Chains A and B, each alone.
Chain A
């Protein structure tokens, strides 16, 4: 404490969290765009519950039908959790939002925390900060604070806005509080995995993996009625146990918060035990020699993880949609809104089943086209990240490079459709609705030309006008909107016809009209060929 020391440097005693305030302000400003979706999506989710309930449960009879359908469909329970009483708006909203909304906020929390901790260290950004006037724990504290604020805003926004639209205040706010608590818990978990893992990617994979496993276990526990104590080993079940629309208990959230605090404390302890840029566990060395020797091999390798995840997802979707097909009668009987969407214009019960399966197959098709469009966009990402340049500097033509990407983009959907179609076929053949395994599988395969047309739109955009890359999702978004909303908005047929899935006929009927599908196939080929021509001609950035 010499008198000659400059006063300004002595003004505040330095601690391990010095600098957190200013870092938090800067980070929030820089990251607001990437935080926004996670804060808004839960509100969209709960608001659409209100809209959906208006649409599906207009009369008391419809509500009872809805209640029976949902309660009687174990596949829905696996994802959304136990139904409770969904014949009320509060109950419907809580059932639909609780698990999914919590999942979304938790996912956002994990990504935010990993990005602000390990990802920054991997990119070298954190070195700048660490070299500044910054306490040892400031960056981790900032990351957790950012995640805390994001989760809080997500929960409050959803709770308040949804209550303003007619859901009870008590249940809506408790539901929102559940979102917030789930976000805090998984943000703290990501804080801990960020200290353990060798790099950012492994850190987020570990946390997201834990979230996924706990999510599936939660659905499974409630679906099979496990002993009561087992419920209490899964933190996601604690949130479920708040029963927002059904009595409403706040205390289970205290357990969630307690665990979050323990995990956060663990994260700080682990951080002080590791070196900057190194995890507690190092990344193991990889292979010295490569086995990828061609553009196609490279494209498969780059899409390997998504190929596996989507393959598994389509087993799950097959189960969910399979249950739907099994309960086609209960779903459609007495619910004209559902019938309008899923089996429009069907006269006989057989025709109704066939049309219903065709619509379900189209939904599967629209979902299948999402990874397809992702793969096409990957071609563009490779260019933008300068990965395409060294490959194209090898003895590889543009067509071969683009073709390798397109082969994966168009070929993987065949696998996905076979997976989902087979699972759905197993459910369909045992449903006693006049459909065989082959009927369902063929129906699912029949959507492929439409899937390829949607992916063709993306191929055309990426090949010809890559600056308009967002437009590559036009096919997916348009098809989804026209298939799900079109019938209930009573749109004219020519407009519905813009969705390639509109032209998929129920193939189980006698003499299905395949001409429309043929044209869709021709358009798909044309779009892909146009994409090739564009990619061959344009500059690679």
Chain B
């Protein structure tokens, strides 16, 4: 039953001394899907991933990876997954090519044709020493090593930090090809466009807890649309319950509206004589900003809303 899921985490807790890094994390990723994993620095993305890799011991909860236990079944599981850390640290005296081959063979071998193809597409000089690479080139070494492996699951922890936009595009293409081969992906990222382009579903983590999970459309549904409107009569707008964050300057009105209340809002505005109207759908970025806005009230909303939506 859990074999349907590549990653199945329930109620995961992790403490570092007294500090609780993860608090009841739930994360389900079906096989062959790309799952975006979003969250600000220090929210617990890397800690979750390191538990999945069997590097950290879970303090509580159930963690299943490709049907096995990450702490126990290290060898069998790691043959079937590849990992790209967010800050790749290479051995200073080893060349990039040597590092790719070492990491590949530790995983049970590389696809030679794909290795050559990726090295060319990422324009990577594999004869440089680890200490000579820039940040972006170190990332490329790890990306090539991971994508050239034949695996069932890619675990990518902010894999493109330091890559230029051109290489970012090459990366997205290469991941899309891996997905077409049937590879599942857990993609932790800061780059919204990358997640929007690749991910089927998204989980958002904050302070060690998953605060939002769903398809991009579902998550957009929880977020508010932005409304810019010019009205003949702006009186009494405050009393329209579906308009939030209302700003009025002359006849110009800006407000936000929940996705399922757009009809009501437009009806209320029509009565006041619309001369211009634009409604922007929520971007992942605006949702992200709303979730991490530091105002306690917003936090409360963010924490309550999605949980209700999930059940």
Residue of A nearest to B106 (CB): A394
Say yes or no for B75: interface residue by CB 8 A criterion.
yes
B97 and A287: CB pair below 8 A?
A: yes
Interface residues of A in 267-300 (CB under 8 A from B): 283, 285-295, 297-298
B55 and A392: CB pair below 8 A?
A: yes
B95 and A386: CB pair below 8 A?
A: no
Which of the residues B90, B92, B108, B127 comes within 8 Å of A288, measured between beta carbons? Answer: B127
A residues near B129, Cβ cutoff 8 Å: 199, 283, 286
Distance of A394 Cα from B79 Cα, bound (Å): 7
Residues 108-137 of chain B, each 1 if its beta carbon lies under 8 Å from chain A, else 0: 100000000000000001111101100000
Nearest-neighbour CB distance to chain B for A527, whole angstroms, equals: 23
B residues near A389, Cβ cutoff 8 Å: 50, 53, 55, 85
Known: A292-B98, A302-B91. Is A390-B105 also a contact (CB below 8 A)? Answer: no
Interface size classification for chain B = 35 or more
A residues near B85, Cβ cutoff 8 Å: 386, 389-390
Say yes or no for B56: interface residue by CB 8 A criterion.
yes
A residues near B98, Cβ cutoff 8 Å: 286-287, 289-292
Say yes or no for A301: interface residue by CB 8 A criterion.
yes
B residues near A298, Cβ cutoff 8 Å: 102
B75 and A396: CB pair below 8 A?
A: yes
Distance of A538 Cα from B57 Cα, bound (Å): 7
A394 and B91: CB pair below 8 A?
A: no
Residue of B nearest to A391 (CB): B106
Nearest-neighbour CB distance to chain B for A282, whole angstroms, equals: 10
Distance of A290 Cα from B100 Cα, bound (Å): 8
Say yes or no for A312: interface residue by CB 8 A criterion.
no
B55 and A540: CB pair below 8 A?
A: yes
Say yes or no for A539: interface residue by CB 8 A criterion.
yes
Residue of A nearest to B100 (CB): A290
Which of the residues B76, B89, B95, B132 comes within 8 Å of A387, measured between beta carbons? Answer: B89
A398 and B74: CB pair below 8 A?
A: yes
B residues near A393, Cβ cutoff 8 Å: 53, 55, 78, 81-83, 155
Nearest-neighbour CB distance to chain A for B114, whole angstroms, equals: 15
A288 and B95: CB pair below 8 A?
A: yes
Nearest-neighbour CB distance to chain B for A383, whole angstroms, equals: 10
Residue of A nearest to B87 (CB): A386
Nearest-neighbour CB distance to chain B for A401, whole angstroms, equals: 10
Interface size classification for chain A = 35 or more
Known: A201-B131, A287-B97. Is A392-B102 also a contact (CB below 8 A)? Answer: no
Distance of A398 Cα from B72 Cα, bound (Å): 11
A residues near B216, Cβ cutoff 8 Å: none
Which of A199, A285, A396 has most chain B Cβ within 10 Å? A285
Residue of B nearest to A292 (CB): B102
Say yes or no for A395: interface residue by CB 8 A criterion.
yes
A residues near B126, Cβ cutoff 8 Å: 288
A392 and B53: CB pair below 8 A?
A: yes
A residues near B82, Cβ cutoff 8 Å: 393
Distance of A295 Cα from B91 Cα, bound (Å): 13
User: Would you call the interface of chain B mostly helix, strand, loop, or mixed?
Assistant: mixed
Nearest-neighbour CB distance to chain B for A307, whole angstroms, equals: 14
Nearest-neighbour CB distance to chain B for A118, whole angstroms, equals: 11
Residue of B nearest to A302 (CB): B91
Distance of A78 Cα from B126 Cα, bound (Å): 45
Nearest-neighbour CB distance to chain A for B237, whole angstroms, equals: 52
Residue of A nearest to B105 (CB): A293
Which of the residues B57, B76, B95 comes within 8 Å of A287, measured between beta carbons? Answer: B95
A residues near B92, Cβ cutoff 8 Å: 201
A residues near B89, Cβ cutoff 8 Å: 385-387
Distance of A537 Cα from B56 Cα, bound (Å): 9
B55 and A539: CB pair below 8 A?
A: yes
Distance of A396 Cα from B81 Cα, bound (Å): 12
Say yes or no for A122: interface residue by CB 8 A criterion.
yes
Distance of A391 Cα from B100 Cα, bound (Å): 11
Distance of A538 Cα from B97 Cα, bound (Å): 31
Say yes or no for A125: interface residue by CB 8 A criterion.
no
Which of A287, A288, A538 has most chain B Cβ within 10 Å? A288
A301 and B94: CB pair below 8 A?
A: yes
Which of the residues A283, A288, A394 comes within 8 Å of B97, measured between beta carbons? Answer: A288
Interface residues of A in 374-407 (CB under 8 A from B): 385-387, 389-398
A residues near B99, Cβ cutoff 8 Å: 290
Say yes or no for B107: interface residue by CB 8 A criterion.
yes
Which of A286, A293, A302 has most chain B Cβ within 10 Å? A286
B residues near A288, Cβ cutoff 8 Å: 95, 97, 126-127
Known: A290-B101, A292-B98. Is A396-B127 also a contact (CB below 8 A)? Answer: no
B56 and A539: CB pair below 8 A?
A: yes
Interface residues of A in 20-70 (CB under 8 A from B): none
Nearest-neighbour CB distance to chain A for B60, whole angstroms, equals: 15
Nearest-neighbour CB distance to chain A for B304, whole angstroms, equals: 33
Distance of A537 Cα from B142 Cα, bound (Å): 27
B residues near A391, Cβ cutoff 8 Å: 103, 106
Which of the residues B74, B75, B90, B132 comes within 8 Å of A199, measured between beta carbons? Answer: B132
Which of the residues B87, B106, B128, B155 comes within 8 Å of A286, measured between beta carbons? Answer: B128
A residues near B56, Cβ cutoff 8 Å: 539-540
Residue of B nearest to A384 (CB): B89
B residues near A290, Cβ cutoff 8 Å: 94-95, 97-102, 105
Residue of A nearest to B54 (CB): A392
Not counting A295-B106, A394-B107, A539-B55, a sample of 17 additional A-B residue pairs whose C-beta atoms are within 8 angstroms of each other reads A199-B129, A199-B131, A286-B97, A287-B97, A290-B97, A292-B98, A293-B105, A302-B91, A389-B50, A390-B85, A392-B54, A393-B55, A393-B83, A395-B74, A395-B78, A396-B75, A540-B55
The 3 A-B pairs at the shortest CB distance, nearest first, are namely A394-B106, A290-B101, A290-B98
Q: List 8 A-B contacts (CB under 8 A).
A: A290-B94, A393-B81, A393-B82, A394-B78, A395-B75, A396-B74, A398-B74, A539-B56
